[in-house]
Amino acid sequence: MLTLDDLIALTWQKRKIISETQRISQFKEFRYLYENDYEMIKEIIKSTFVNRPFSEESLKGMVIQHQDVLSKILNRKTSGIIGNNLGIEYLVGDKPDENFKELAAQTGLNNKIKECLRRMEFFNTSIAHTIYRDGEIDIDIITGDEASVLTKTNFLKLKAIKLERVNEEGEIYYSIWTEDKHFIQFSEGDPVQPNENNPDMEMPYSNLPFSILRKNEGMDFWGEPNWGLFFYSLLNDLSRSDDDLAEFFQKWSTFYAINMNLPEDFRLSPRTFIGRNKVNTNEAKPEIGYINANINWESLISNRNYKAKYTYVNEGLSANSASLETLSQSGISKMMDESELEEYREELKPRLSRFIKSVGQNLIMTHNYHVSSGDIKDIKAIPEDGVIRIEFGEQSTIETISDIKARREMEMEFGERNQIDFIMEDFNFDNREDAIQHFEKIKEENNKYGLSPAPKQDNSLKTKLGITQ
């Protein structure tokens, strides 16, 4: 007979199973949006907004449009952290190891790190899994939609993980890793099976080959994904689809008829003559008209733009990034937004460094094991007593033409630089003599052909600042 403790344990286990199923389903919706899976996005929009406030019939008659608004936001937030010149080296002694360099290039290490970072911004937690597959080492990127975990006492640390995978026959199976075992299973309750080349189902490496990158610590291992971006993307799709539907109906207005004696199935169409004769004096005046909804399109567009800018600001980005206007922000406003974003990026770098080192160490561990077992022969084993060195590329500041013009005017007014310096900057001359020769040539051509520089305006910085001397 079951005791009270047994019943409590079973109830708790059942609640955990239901909760985990809901969590995976939730993260799958995030994944569909991240991957721009149009068919699934349509279903998510319909299930989310049916009767809130759209009827099922309205949603059924609406052509749902999808626009990828996530990529720009995620790329903008992460682009300045890594850039194209992230340097990852493995130093043995004081020299970079060439085998590690080749292994990093083979696995696309830099691009995988960037993708982990982008997914972290949306899913909160991303995992890099170094794995041997098809005769070489690769890196899989895992998010909360395709894995369940068992954690240690510290729930942020991994003890075991179950990955959802698909084999060559298209069958879904689960790859399960614990600290001492590795095996596969086709469904819950099925007997476990050994993985290829691992009949004893032993975990072959010195530690689990998973590296975790997490944005915020939550109440469980995965934390909460970016709900703000999730709903902004859905609402943007629905708003655009609904606006277009309203526009179509505005073009084809709703007509009404008074005392026209029209048949019930009558439809107005071009080149159709409608007449009404023999109207009695006591009857209403025959009339055909249409209903104008008088939609304030400018207000709707303004509201949508406001939501976009609000979302960008909440993500730590410039509201100007969401603007369709060609005029850019003022220099001061742009500098403030960029400084806030740069501060966030600097805060991320120590965490990202630890993650990159973990991925590099797991890469070496996995590679060396399969070299020793004879699976890999093209890249030699890598010494394990080296040090991973990381150099983040500096993000160059982008100056607009107006920024350059204003800077140069200020430098000339205060005597810091002159036209020769600017020629050296623009044409990459190595010495001033070449720049002076170029300057003299321009002056000579101006005099010869009657050319003259643009007239100067009295908008000097000294005048604006009230400096008289």
pLDDT in tens, the chain (469 residues): 445 455 445 454 555 555 888 999 999 999 999 999 999 999 999 999 999 888 998 898 889 999 999 998 898 888 777 766 678 899 998 899 999 999 999 999 999 999 999 999 999 999 999 999 989 999 999 999 999 999 999 999 999 999 999 888 888 999 999 999 999 998 877 888 998 778 899 999 999 999 999 999 999 999 999 999 999 999 999 988 888 777 776 666 677 788 888 887 887 777 777 877 788 878 888 888 777 777 777 877 777 777 777 677 777 676 665 555 544 444 544 555 566 677 778 888 899 999 999 999 999 999 999 999 999 999 999 999 999 999 886 555 556 677 778 788 888 887 888 888 888 888 877 788 888 888 888 888 888 887 766 555 555 544 544 555 4
Query: Please, are residues 272 and 347 in contact by the beta-carbon 8 Å criterion?
Result: no
Secondary structure of residue 94 in the 3-state scheme: coil
**pLDDT, position 18:** 59
Residues 6+ apart with CB under 8 A from 248: none
Q: 458 lies in which domain range?
A: 405-465
Q: CA 264, CA 243: separation in Å to the nearest integer?
A: 30
Q: CA 405, CA 290: separation in Å to the nearest integer?
A: 56
Round the CA-based radius of gyration of the chain to a whole number and report it. Answer: 33
Place of tokens 């099922």: 56
Place of tokens 């060439």: 98
Q: CA 309, CA 300: separation in Å to the nearest integer?
A: 14
Is residue 13, in this structure, part of any structural domain at all?
no
Secondary structure of residue 302 in the 3-state scheme: helix
Q: CA 127, CA 111: separation in Å to the nearest integer?
A: 14
Is residue 458, in this structure, part of any structural domain at all?
yes
Is residue 106, in this structure, part of any structural domain at all?
no
Which of 382, 416, 414, 409 has the alpha carbon at shortest distance from 90?
382
Indicate the number of domains in the chain: 1
Is residue 351, in this structure, part of any structural domain at all?
no
Distances (CA, A) of 375 to 70, 135, 352, 372, 379: 40, 6, 31, 8, 11
Is residue 421, in this structure, part of any structural domain at all?
yes
Residues 6+ apart with CB under 8 A from 450: none
Q: CA 355, CA 82: separation in Å to the nearest integer?
A: 13
Q: CA 165, CA 175: separation in Å to the nearest integer?
A: 7
Query: Please, are residues 139 and 129 in contact by the beta-carbon 8 Å criterion?
Result: yes
Distances (CA, A) of 414 to 399, 408, 461, 469: 20, 10, 9, 11
**pLDDT, position 328:** 46
Q: CA 79, CA 343: separation in Å to the nearest integer?
A: 14
Is residue 79, in this structure, part of any structural domain at all?
no
**pLDDT, position 81:** 76
Neighbours of 130 (CB within 10 A): 24
Q: CA 160, CA 176: separation in Å to the nearest integer?
A: 7
Is residue 342, in this structure, part of any structural domain at all?
no
Distances (CA, A) of 191 to 20, 175, 178, 194, 195: 22, 13, 16, 10, 13
Secondary structure of residue 389 in the 3-state scheme: strand
Helix (H) or strand (E) holding 106: helix 98-107
Helix (H) or strand (E) holding 148: strand 147-151
